[in-house]
Structure 1
């Protein structure tokens, strides 16, 4: 395939790696550390491999003891490598056959391969200038732990994996369970060779290959190319060589291998996270939380104090002057709660509301828990726990924060009403009228007492004017006082409703800061995680 195709594959890989890194960052604190460490390892390997030669395709030969892996490696590589292989210092070290020396040194250093042999092109194989590195690796079933460690490391590093199996042990659970099945996402860069088919009767070769294909399908590698070969007699070697040549000339193996690693890491993240989208925070849920916190924070008690304070002040201002002074002995409900601020700093002010006891704390906890449960509904298990933890994070600060919010809310309970002045003026005029009537009668009584001439008192509808003045003034004062109570009651309810609205807004602001916003942040994090995970998985 053209370099343009390889560039497009690399560009797609860029986007997927960026998405995978975003997923890892978003999952911090929500998913297990070992899963995130595995993702980080994939990202670091990808960064390292992509910084090295992109012109070389690294092909690793993996196989069990007795599979003829090294013989097939030699047959595919050519005589020069076979001769070098005889002089290998130990079978526990990887052997590299290199076509195209330029740029291979740093790549082999990263792979930690010391035994390097530069080969000439074999007809039909790597003769077009394409860089290629073949690795003959230790047996994966070796009893030496160091050999198995090398194999496991190389499985995570090479661009193309060639698994060499033999007719006797091709169904061995060790290779399928430990290596092939876990690498099901790497089918595009995996080649399976059934070596030593010369040991099988001709009529059994096809059934055995079909049986191997069925096992691979169960491993999730049903589309992997399976080639029958014999390194001893040379049959099928050209097919193996041609398959490797095709992969190398396409120049996509590196990106496909790393893309398969991203797919596998994404699958592990998806498994650790679980599937699901959270219900999120709704307006109804926020309103319910604010309502419950308002009750727990004694907002109804404050509203009642606002109503009673207004009615008390109305009586002081509009009551019958003869009796209104008695109201001064009744304490102001807001002042008792330390809510009538007279120039005090709202930030430093504290209320005298009842402190939050067990019932109030239980109500607060229940409201927060209910809000978190509603917001996390539908979320996967780990994220549901994260969302709930975020909601509980500010729980201990809620009582003090709510008290401060109520203390700093402008209740406007002491604001004067326009009708107070009008009623007060009329009340005093009525009282003065009554007092004028009493004074008039007093003068008439004094004149009579001293046997002085008593002037004729004018009449109104047959009633003496002084008497009318006394009765009218007193009656008007009492009527005004009663009417003022009705007006004050209605105005107090309106002022209480306004205070309730402002108090609930203050409580909602506290709830937003300590509960809603942390939950919304985690909900948004889950949404971003799922979006980035889909981008990384594609």
Structure 2
């Protein structure tokens, strides 16, 4: 399916949008160019769309004014007393009705209405004789440069002496390289050359214009003194004016001229898929995910040991500070889901690791952006990096720390107490039998220390209670190690997940916004240029 070509209003709207998107990113003079073209084009379209404005531009001594008068058919302007310069614009106007506002916009006060038609097909036409663009008078040059950006058709007038002047080509003609469709070139004073020289010089001027970027521009050799080439030039002007499209073609050329370099760089690719993963891994290291996981696992093992370990030794663990408390972490979340942390700020080395990760991530995201956009992305990354220590601390604080053993382990705690109670009963039995044997006689008779299978029951109680508690403590210790490893993995995974969420909100999103803004800018610039 063929894509519909963008209309001029759509292109102008896209140009204005591109300028807004590039605010604060492109250099000031480039933004000014985009906005100037958009404003100038909008203003031109609101004025007469029937008149074609043709401007005669030339260097001092090129005979531009004499040529202008020859094309008009009457001497409308007077040359200066000492040298042939034009100090202000002069307009020859065919069919002047409706041209006043357009001439006001152009800033042309000297207006000379002409009778009849310039040519049968030219329609309403305005020819402007403009100040010399290389005039020593700064004001004259400003006028010429301003109107070069406003007229619909540019007629570059040169002569055999200055046609190859580098200053003329570099400063005046080449900046309008994309305006070939609305450009005419004139080699005036051709009467000063031999016929064969006219051909050679005309060909050479055409080649120079081609080198300037003005491909396909025909060079008309003229002589205001002899009248040679005047009709050919009038015919060329009539042909451009007859299509009634010169104003639009000029606007389109202006848009292309200011947007072409914006599309020189290749289109950006999708953001590298592994860039965010590498960022999160580095930030998780800086956040101390491994250390938090180890401490949480240690806290779990310690608490399980205190709850299910051998009661004769598990009390020793109560004398040591809880690993989480030492780190300043709590596993109990508040009503917002935050597990408050009083741990010290991340170290300088960890901060350096985090900052480097953010910069590396920004470099990867900006690797395919134009320099101006890449600089903005880098500046955004530097601003983001300042907040990284806080977001890492927040990520750790939001992580659930599974350091508290399940309530199901309470069964083992009860068994441990029962085992200890059995051992204490056996010890008490022996003590009572030794010091108060009469207390047991009513219950046990003469055999106050009965046996079973050759073992005294009190001894079995003592040994059974101690061994059961010891073995149970060892078994739960093994389980504590295994479960602690799982707690470590879950904690590490939780910290990394929250680090990834925080980095997505506070690192990835603001940096990707720059890429997205550039993509929108490029799309708008492409549409303004005429591509879809």
Q: Assess same fold via TM > 0.5.
A: yes
* CA deviations over 1:64-89 (Å, ceiling 9, x no partner): 3333322322232234xx3x435999
- Alpha-carbon offset, residue 177 of structure 1: 2.3
Partner of 2:171: 178
CA distance in 1, matches of 2:348, 2:303: 35
Is the alpha carbon distance of 1:118 and 1:214 closer, same or farther for their aligned partners in structure 2, counting shifts above 3 Å?
same
CA contact (8 A) 1:45 1:157 kept: yes
Please state whether the residue corresponding to 1:185 is helix, strand or coil.
coil
Partner of 1:425: 414
CA distance in 2, matches of 1:506, 1:491: 22
Is the alpha carbon distance of 1:450 and 1:75 closer, same or farther for their aligned partners in structure 2, counting shifts above 3 Å?
closer
Which of 141, 149, 155 lines up with 1:148 in the alignment? Answer: 141
CA distance in 2, matches of 1:277, 1:387: 17
CA distance in 2, matches of 1:38, 1:529: 15
Which of 290, 298, 310 lines up with 2:280 in the alignment? Answer: 290
Partner of 2:237: 244
- Alpha-carbon offset, residue 96 of structure 1: 0.9
Which of 194, 197, 203 lines up with 2:190 in the alignment? Answer: 197
TM-score where L is the length of structure 1:
0.88
CA distance in 2, matches of 1:177, 1:336: 73
Is the alpha carbon distance of 1:145 and 1:373 closer, same or farther for their aligned partners in structure 2, counting shifts above 3 Å?
closer
Is the alpha carbon distance of 1:129 and 1:462 closer, same or farther for their aligned partners in structure 2, counting shifts above 3 Å?
same
Is the alpha carbon distance of 1:174 and 1:368 closer, same or farther for their aligned partners in structure 2, counting shifts above 3 Å?
closer
* CA deviations over 1:233-276 (Å, ceiling 9, x no partner): 33322221221112112111111111111122113545xxx724
Please state whether the residue corresponding to 1:171 is helix, strand or coil.
coil
- Alpha-carbon offset, residue 60 of structure 1: 0.6
CA distance in 2, matches of 1:451, 1:73: 141
Note if 1:227 corresponds to 2:220.
yes
- Alpha-carbon offset, residue 318 of structure 1: 0.7
CA RMSD, aligned part only? 2.8
Please state whether the residue corresponding to 2:151 is helix, strand or coil.
coil
Partner of 1:259: 252
Please state whether the residue corresponding to 1:394 is helix, strand or coil.
helix
CA distance in 1, matches of 2:274, 2:196: 73
Partner of 2:393: 403
Please state whether the residue corresponding to 1:24 is helix, strand or coil.
helix
Which of 278, 302, 315 lines up with 1:325 in the alignment? Answer: 315
Give matches, 1:29-428, under 5 Å.
29-79=24-74, 82=75, 84-85=76-77, 91-122=86-117, 125-128=118-121, 130-269=123-262, 275-276=265-266, 281-340=271-330, 351-414=341-404, 416-428=405-417
CA distance in 1, matches of 2:123, 2:378: 56
Give matches, 1:478-497, under 5 Å.
478-497=470-489
CA distance in 2, matches of 1:120, 1:53: 19
Please state whether the residue corresponding to 1:275 is helix, strand or coil.
coil
CA contact (8 A) 2:79 2:86 kept: no
CA distance in 1, matches of 2:198, 2:125: 31
Please state whether the residue corresponding to 1:116 is helix, strand or coil.
strand
- Alpha-carbon offset, residue 425 of structure 1: 2.4
* CA deviations over 1:406-431 (Å, ceiling 9, x no partner): 223322323x4154122122222322
CA contact (8 A) 1:392 1:515 kept: no
- Alpha-carbon offset, residue 518 of structure 1: 1.7
Partner of 1:5: none
CA contact (8 A) 1:346 1:408 kept: no
CA distance in 1, matches of 2:333, 2:367: 47
CA distance in 1, matches of 2:337, 2:467: 48
Note if 1:17 corresponds to 2:31.
no
CA distance in 2, matches of 1:364, 1:132: 67
TM-score where L is the length of structure 2:
0.89
CA contact (8 A) 2:95 2:116 kept: no
CA contact (8 A) 1:306 1:495 kept: yes
Please state whether the residue corresponding to 1:133 is helix, strand or coil.
strand
* CA deviations over 1:456-495 (Å, ceiling 9, x no partner): 7654332233322322222111100100101011111212
Is the alpha carbon distance of 1:218 and 1:425 closer, same or farther for their aligned partners in structure 2, counting shifts above 3 Å?
same
CA contact (8 A) 2:330 2:340 kept: no
CA distance in 2, matches of 1:384, 1:308: 45
Which of 458, 473, 478 lines up with 1:466 in the alignment? Answer: 458
